[in-house]
Amino acid sequence: MKRITFTGDYITLGQFLKLADVVSTGGQAKFFLREHVVTVNGEPENRRGRKLVHLDTVEIENIGRFQAIRV
């Protein structure tokens, strides 16, 4: 599982996907979430504005698992 670090209280799923090098822009995140199976803590998610907090886990089918780490 790859750890993605962020500062602040939360990070949005769209920002998280950019930091994880899954997409390069927020606009791409919107389309990416429509076309791929993404879960947050085991629940399906397709909102790029979803707020992720420390230790949330994001799994992307055929790409991998990531964990949000607040620093």
Q: Which two tokens stand for residue 9?
A: 């209280």
Average pLDDT, the chain: 97
Closest CA to 18 of 41, 52, 44, 43: 52
Distance CA 26, CA 49 (A): 10
Q: Which two tokens stand for residue 66?
A: 């990531």
Domain 2-70 is found in CATH 3.30.1330.20: no
Prediction pTM value: 0.95
Contacts of residue 43, Cβ cutoff 8 Å, sequence gap at least 6: none
17-50 confidence digits (pLDDT tens): 999 999 999 889 999 999 999 999 999 999 999 9
